[in-house]
Structure 1
């Protein structure tokens, strides 16, 4: 099967490349609103499936589209992508010195109608950060495309993350271990010699 990555994320592209998977990028504009009653992993799973639904008409039977969504949850508050410096500062100030959960959900939608949606959770422990560290990170990394206003692979992850409980790749935006298994179940992995 031909794998279609429906994501503009350079991190997801790199992770699929590192897995040794060939893929094509196909992008459609999809709104990322979600119903208010959804909580935690439900939000990410809803958004991943919602994104995949936009691709149904474009798929042929031997294609599978991969859509994903990553959210950061501090208790039950969902921290999406910050719109500006003030929002990023607020998010990072709230996260510092605390543990929070990162959920990445993936939807694999096949052109023949099969679909699987799953999510993976990682708990991230941040050390206390100074206002200067937070300001420096926002000014240099411009984390406005990242849930929770940070990337674990960025400077702030290197200096601020004390430990992880779960997959580092889930925090980066793609639970590669789960993606591999689910693609294998769908018969969408290339033959290995």
Structure 2
């Protein structure tokens, strides 16, 4: 499929680009030369957008099918300044970044049986884990773009951000179907 200037392969075992993906892409504002992380990369479309401006991009996902698909999409589009790794949040990420983007799985935790189900189940507990670790991976002046849904609970996410010492503001909001999607910019 052609998508926002890229040819993107999809796979039923990998979270496809959706309204939340597009909102996060619209919120990206890299100026050039940065090191960026796409947490939960899926097809790699957000990482590929980052790589058009950033010096180097790392995309990680806990789904091995997603990592392989993202690599294929980078090759298909001739993008070389991006790397993809299997990682449960920061478990395989020692580097630090100027920008970390995370389209967080925002449905309440459920019984994940297949790797793709980790793409939508996680909710506030997963965001809490992310926030507890993310600040250690920010370079001086670095920031986070966190996308989540009203289904997660805005109040719960704000409490977690406060608990982990972040300052934040809402960069974007979009209402779709039965939920609101938010992109917050965070600094530590």
TM-score class, shorter-chain normalisation, is under 0.3
More helix by share: 1
Q: How does the TM-score come out when normalised to structure 1? A: 0.27
Q: Which has the higher contact order (CA 8 A, sep 6+)?
A: 1
